[in-house]
Structure 1
Amino acid sequence: MCFEEFAHCRTCGYTVQQKEFCPDYRLEWVKVLIGQSTKTPKQIGDECGRYGNTIHFFPAAKCPRCAWNPPRPDQVVDHWAWAYHQSVGKFPAEKLPKKFNIVEGEICSSKHFANEPLALVNAALRSATYTNPSIGFDAAQKTVFLRDAASQPTIALISGGGSGHEPSFAGFVGKGFLTAAVAGSVFASPSAEQVFRAIRRVGAEQPQRGVLVLIMNYTGDMLHFGMAVEKARAEGIKTELLVVGDDVGVGRKRGGRIGRRGLAGTVLVQKIAAAAAAQGQSLEQVSQIATLASDNLATVGASLAHVHVPGREITPDELGDEIEIGMGIHNEEGFGRVKTTLKGLVETMLKQLLDQSDSDRAYINVNSGEEVVVMVNNLGGISPLELGAITTEVIDQLDASYKIKPSRLLSGTYMTSLNGLGFSITILKVADKAILPLIDAPADAAGWSPAVRPENWANGIDTTKAEIKEDAPSQDDSAPSNLDLDAAFTISQLQSALKSLIVAEPEVTKFDTIVGDGDCGLCLKTGAEAVLKHLETVSSSGDIDTVHFVRNIALVIESSMDGTSGALYAIFVNALASGLQGQASSQKTAVTPKIWATALQAALKSLARYTPAQPGDRTVVDALVPFVNTLAETLDVQKAVGAARKGSDSTKGMEASLGRSVYVNAEGWNECPDPGAYGLVKLLEGFLGHLN
């Protein structure tokens, strides 16, 4: 890219052409940029009378399209990809200070494993050759290509753009998909020379076979790829250019003459075109079906945060707790910011995609019963778990609000914005019966993951919601033990203990976040709430059989508590019931502290068969063993609870021998008890409080 041609914004792709600069003061502006001018920008503007046209060349200026400011004036080159031609005279690129050199620019601290952008891009492109051995890599031109592309009888399909959108586009190079992909720097389009060399690589041997260049609608891409196409045509290579714009986040009025931005829907157009090419269709035929798909395509995105580009200064995110609807894949702002739920967000996004009353955004018209392809695309930072929930919400609302059931659904990572915390929804109206078979056609591309064979779509998507019924836990139906408890007092006592544990959940979670994986508090709370709900079904009049009562609680714990805590409590309470059953009487007998103590000792012995934990290992056992042993020795509940509390406190600063705490750095443990032991103490304190 030459200084005399244009300057390019890495964030949104906007390109300022040379005619927008004052040619008489070009050299003076370069001096300003590198700090060697004696004049201020205002003085230069006043002298040349064209300050409004030259302001884009000043380091502190905003990009005229996305209004993005460079992080600091001295880092302008890290944001604006200015390039300097030898004709500038005294200031060719190699003579500029290092901090202004794009290739050797200073690297800012950031939260990435790789922080040098150019090395990162090249390493990522090389990985494509490892995941697909049929692919080659031209490091000098940052181009990934099919090794046997030049000899193939079918037309070639080339795409590309700025890096940071992986697997687009290098991940889609492979048989049945792209022939080659050309990459620029992060969020910056590749040069015309890179693209031209890629076209020549795949098309020079068979110039009349045809090359289709298919790109997204961004100014930089348009200029560079367009220039390369013209150069290829001049060399006699039959070449066509197709530009995809599918974004509806920015409407017709705001998009103006620039048109819609290209988003994840571009991948569907590329897949359709590539499959048509693989069938042996001509360049004209492939262009026609790809254009038809592009004309019936709409995409909208949403994000929780702006992304950080490796190597750039970290700046505060303005979004806070808001969601940006319509955000582009280069951090560009979109339709607006909202605070809403997932349901409300998807509702707004689908309305922008399908509402025919919105003349500014009604790009496609889909009626009930018409076939569509839906893509729910991960912008890079959404977990598969959350993406699944998003996909369900999208499909359910399409069915409920629009009576639309997709003929094909793609949910995954197809076009990212680095590690963007967002997703996009694409709807492709199937305007030709040939489109679905082209989507279904096989492709040997690492980034393409339809996963489901076409025949599995024969019956369509079943959006019937299965009614969720809570299965009642099994009830103990063994013979009575004749060990009786006062129902009202026992239920009230247990409720007090469980509520004490629920109140302690935030503290347990805090401790477990420091020394574990943070799930202990919620696990204990979930179990406590389930037992409380069960107690509502137990009659509080008269006496209850102790063994039946304890076994039924064990069944509730088994069905409601997961994680290690759930397993330990379920084993212990089941064993406690067995210990009580072992003391069953032929006559009605009130349960005494001694009976409880004996049963608890038996339960502790049973628990030891399934866990090697001993006091001193920093586990729940550090509180459980002192409680059981002290109760057996003294038959005094208050002393037993005190011993459990002392055991829990002893775990502060104790090095873990078992559990996930083993893998956690011990820093900060001195005031942090074992979460499981602490939770047990809070449960026991609830018992004790009710007794007192």
Structure 2
Amino acid sequence: MVSVGELSLRNTLLGFVGVHSDILHVKSHNILLRDDEEFRNDKKSVLIISGGGSGHEPFPVGFVGKGMLSAAICGEIFTSPSVTSCLASILLSSQNDPSREILMVINNYTGDRLNFGLAIEMARNIHKYENIKSIIIDDDCAIDNPRNSTGRRGLTAINLIMKIAGAMSAKGFPLTDIHEQCSSILNNRMIRTIGFTFQHNRNELNQIDIGYGIHGEAGALKLDNTKCFKTIIGILKQKLKIDEIKSDIIVLFNNLGGASEFIFYNFIKDFMDSINGNSFNVIKIYAGKFLTSLGKEGIGVSIMEIKDNSIIELLEHPTETASKYLFNIPLSYSHSTREMDFEVSKVDECPNHEDMIENVKMNEIEIMKKVLMKICHDINDARSDLNLMDKELGDSDTGDTLSRGACAILRELSKNNLNAGNPHKFLITLSDILMRSMGGSSGAIFSIFFQCASIAFRDCNKYCITNWLQALSNGIDGIMRYGKAEIGDRTLLDSLCVGYNEMKITFNDGNSLEAVQAFTKGCQIGCDKTKNMFPKSGRCAYAYADKDSDFKFSSKFPDSGAYVISIISNGILHVLQGLE
């Protein structure tokens, strides 16, 4: 028996580049990068980047190459790639040229959204990349009314979108056109996907799970044993809204990795027979392994409505990627290690980040340090309470996670490594510290907040209440944009948004301390309200997916994230009141 610990992602990727000589492995980041001469010399085409957790091969590695991906970032099995690796993919594929146009194609999973999103904000804010956009793939149709905060899962639409985007890039289309085309397809629900898993026992399918997720998430419907696909296909067609289709379509059949060819093509035959005679034409079929789930026995079906023949031209545009080879082109193996190393510059090493700005006074620097120390000590003191609050509906680790971030900040303060003399750089540095020390979704959310908040100080780099209000607004917008949470979802936003609104109203009178007092009071009010909110964001939200707004809910504790915001606001107020 081989221990799973002996099977490393790096070995997998090195084995892959050993077979495919025009792809390079980036050591320590698990990035696969195009390394052909045409790509190295091309300074104009839009770069297409995607990635996600491993275990879904051939996605994304099999689609790196001419006509599709410029780079692919691989996380560990079913784990999102790190923010640093996502950022490294941007810098490497563009050869550190911030003028390059880049499209990030992201499957709709929380970790991917947050980590890719934070990398994009860092590329814009620190490395001055202005021409970078993203699209979120959300083609799953298993769940009829998903929460806004979680949305529909990303499935094999990502393969079709990568193909379309890659072809448009190869044809010389600009980023705005590619983004608009791909967004239109997704926003109009032109691609819909649903799949099912099973266990095959001789001539019978057992333990059928319709809508099973590629990371092992439970499906929307379970069926008993069956000897034919008729019932399954009927449910799939209903979810795919086959009877409502008026245009020509493309059908993509995806083998989740473990379905035998015997069963796979039996299913394809039965499905195609079932839609024969409808009012639409099937003008193209794709069948094979596109997005797998570690060899799971399962099959997925994607329907793409075609209302513009130019889409067919893009799908038929030639590619040179590993996934097209299969057995058609003989391969050879190279034992030379085709990899390079790359380290993302720290904030201190980035250009245009002076340590001291004229507009900042020494007493303001000391105030900022006192505020940080107070907040960090208060969070550490509340560690056990936060874990207890989180245990009610979460993983009981909020206190531990936030404490890691607080301790990291205190360490940097004790070494005088955290310079508050440049507000813009100061907040970017806080973002970087929290990203590296906290980990998980919480680390990404707080890091995104500070990264987006820092933009308020980029053009007017001084500490003033007006800039802080704008910083709060930017940070809230960043969390909503990448985390997909909204007010009322029982998250830290329920505390933060009430505090921000109260602060904004009060500051119209011109008193800064009163504005901070209003902010603190608002944060507490918002925090308390979360006791009566059922969760609509995060993993526990799935347990309440069928609940409507009239559902009565009460918990013993407020949301732990919202409580953290009240701790932070009280810490700020405590220090500022001590200065009076």
TM-score of the pair, normalised by structure 2: 0.52
| Greater Cα offset, 273-282 or 443-452 | 443-452
**Which consecutive residues of structure 1, in runs of 5 or more, have no partner in the other structure?**
1-108, 307-319, 357-364, 453-692
Instruction: Report the counterpart of residue 195 of structure 2 in structure 1.
Output: 301
Aligned partner (choices 37, 50, 56) of residue 159 of structure 1: 50
Does residue 171 of the first structure (1) align with residue 62 of the second (2)? Answer: yes
Structure-2 change in CA distance of 1:201 and 1:221 (3 Å): same
CA distance in 1, matches of 2:245, 2:242: 9
CA distance in 2, matches of 1:450, 1:275: 21
Counterpart of 2:288, as a letter, is G
CA distance in 2, matches of 1:450, 1:434: 27
Give SS of 1:225's match: helix
Counterpart of 1:116, as a letter, is G
Instruction: Report the counterpart of residue 224 of structure 1 in structure 2.
Output: 115
Instruction: Report the counterpart of residue 243 of structure 1 in structure 2.
Output: 136
Structure-2 change in CA distance of 1:128 and 1:292 (3 Å): farther
Q: Is the 8 A contact 1:270 1:290 kept in 2?
A: no
1:132 deviates by 2.0
1:432 deviates by 2.3
Q: Is the 8 A contact 2:91 2:97 kept in 1?
A: no
Does residue 333 of the first structure (1) align with residue 244 of the second (2)? Answer: no
CA distance in 1, matches of 2:319, 2:121: 29
CA distance in 2, matches of 1:227, 1:388: 42
Instruction: Report the counterpart of residue 608 of structure 1 in structure 2.
Output: none
CA distance in 2, matches of 1:355, 1:429: 10
Counterpart of 2:213, as a letter, is G
Structure-2 change in CA distance of 1:448 and 1:328 (3 Å): farther
Spell out, residue by residue over 1:256-287, the C-alpha distance to the aligned partner (whole angstroms, 9 max, x if none). 43110001121101111101101011011111
Structure-2 change in CA distance of 1:133 and 1:211 (3 Å): same
Counterpart of 2:29, as a letter, is Q
| Greater Cα offset, 134-143 or 147-156 | 147-156
CA distance in 1, matches of 2:294, 2:279: 34
1:110-259 to 2 correspondence within 5 Å? 115-116=4-5, 119-148=7-36, 149-152=39-42, 153-234=44-125, 235-237=127-129, 238-252=131-145, 254-259=146-151
Spell out, residue by residue over 1:390-419, the C-alpha distance to the aligned partner (whole angstroms, 9 max, x if none). 11112111214x343311100111110011
CA distance in 2, matches of 1:122, 1:192: 18
Q: Is the 8 A contact 2:30 2:85 kept in 1?
A: yes
Instruction: Report the counterpart of residue 283 of structure 1 in structure 2.
Output: 175
Instruction: Report the counterpart of residue 665 of structure 1 in structure 2.
Output: none
CA distance in 1, matches of 2:93, 2:249: 33
1:133 deviates by 1.0
Instruction: Report the counterpart of residue 536 of structure 2 in structure 1.
Output: none
Q: Is the 8 A contact 1:190 1:224 kept in 2?
A: yes
Give SS of 2:139's match: coil
Greater Rg over alpha carbons, structure: 1
1:184-583 to 2 correspondence within 5 Å? 184-234=75-125, 235-237=127-129, 238-252=131-145, 254-295=146-187, 296-304=190-198, 321-339=206-224, 340=226, 341-354=228-241, 365-367=244-246, 370-400=247-277, 402-448=278-324
CA distance in 2, matches of 1:350, 1:131: 39
Give SS of 1:434's match: helix
Q: Is the 8 A contact 1:249 1:300 kept in 2?
A: yes
Q: Is the 8 A contact 1:114 1:120 kept in 2?
A: no
Q: Is the 8 A contact 1:305 1:420 kept in 2?
A: no
1:567-606 to 2 correspondence within 5 Å? none
1:147 deviates by 1.5
1:288 deviates by 1.3
1:611-690 to 2 correspondence within 5 Å? none
Structure-2 change in CA distance of 1:444 and 1:372 (3 Å): same
CA distance in 2, matches of 1:203, 1:220: 24
CA distance in 1, matches of 2:23, 2:242: 43
**Which consecutive residues of structure 2, in runs of 5 or more, have no partner in the other structure?**
329-580
Give SS of 2:217's match: coil
How many residues end up aligned between the 2 structures?
Answer: 316
Counterpart of 1:283, as a letter, is L
Structure-2 change in CA distance of 1:322 and 1:259 (3 Å): same
Spell out, residue by residue over 1:135-157, the C-alpha distance to the aligned partner (whole angstroms, 9 max, x if none). 00012100001015453231110
1:244 deviates by 0.5
Spell out, residue by residue over 1:314-369, the C-alpha distance to the aligned partner (whole angstroms, 9 max, x if none). xxxxxx9320000010110121101243122112111110157xxxxxxxx521xx
Spell out, residue by residue over 1:43-68, the C-alpha distance to the aligned partner (whole angstroms, 9 max, x if none). xxxxxxxxxxxxxxxxxxxxxxxxxx
1:208 deviates by 2.1
1:371 deviates by 1.6
1:205 deviates by 4.1
Q: Is the 8 A contact 1:131 1:446 kept in 2?
A: no
1:114 deviates by 6.2
CA distance in 2, matches of 1:193, 1:378: 32
Q: Is the 8 A contact 1:150 1:202 kept in 2?
A: no
Structure-2 change in CA distance of 1:178 and 1:214 (3 Å): same
CA distance in 2, matches of 1:410, 1:183: 25
Counterpart of 1:136, as a letter, is L
Q: Relative contact order, CA 8 A, sep 6+: which one is greater?
A: 2
CA distance in 2, matches of 1:266, 1:280: 21
CA distance in 2, matches of 1:114, 1:215: 32
Counterpart of 2:257, as a letter, is G
